[in-house]
């Protein structure tokens, strides 16, 4: 079997000198949101680039539509009913955390809900629950697509 199929992305990241296994239970909610923001950004950028080669500015505009706090807040509302008790607890911890940086051009409610969303994404990523992570992100993205269709 080819090694790239045998091992996942995580395996290869841990081969980089200095990279260590991280337990999500040892991370604060804001640290989970920090890594979750990056993971979600990578998912969305992969999605957007997969829709066709375009000028980078257009890719950025499309990406921004999904990664802004109001969009994450909207997706989180549609995902909440699908969360397990443990996932909901992680989301709640992230949502209730006091961030050092204020919300920019977003309501404080959307900003906090988005922080909870990112904390949940970070938790699932660090816990290697990739199937669950993609399942929840898919639910959120589907709800955004449905909302966009209704507006048109």
Catalytic residue positions? 37
* Length of the chain, in residues: 152
Which of 62, 70, 82 lies closest to 132 in space, CA to CA? 82
How many angstroms separate the CA atoms of 48 and 122, rounded? 21
Q: How far from the centroid of its chain's Cα atoms is residue 138's Cα? A: 11
Give the CA count within 13 Å in the CB-facing half-sphere of 109.
Answer: 2
């Amino acid at each position: 079997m080819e090694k790239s199929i045998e091992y996942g992305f995580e395996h290869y990241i841990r081969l980089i000198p200095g990279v260590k296994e991280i337990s999500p239970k040892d991370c604060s909610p804001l640290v989970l949101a920090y890594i979750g923001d990056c993971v979600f950004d990578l998912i969305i950028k992969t999605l957007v680039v997969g829709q066709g080669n375009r000028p980078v500015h257009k890719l950025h505009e499309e990406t921004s539509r999904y990664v802004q706090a109001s969009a994450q807040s909207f997706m989180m509302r549609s995902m909440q009913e699908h969360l397990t008790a443990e996932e909901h607890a992680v989301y709640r911890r992230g949502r209730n955390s006091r961030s050092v940086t204020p919300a920019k051009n977003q309501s404080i409610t959307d900003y906090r809900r988005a922080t909870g969303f990112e904390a949940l994404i970070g938790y699932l990523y660090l816990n290697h629950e990739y199937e669950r992570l993609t399942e929840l992100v898919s639910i959120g993205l589907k709800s955004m697509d449905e909302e966009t269709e209704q507006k048109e």
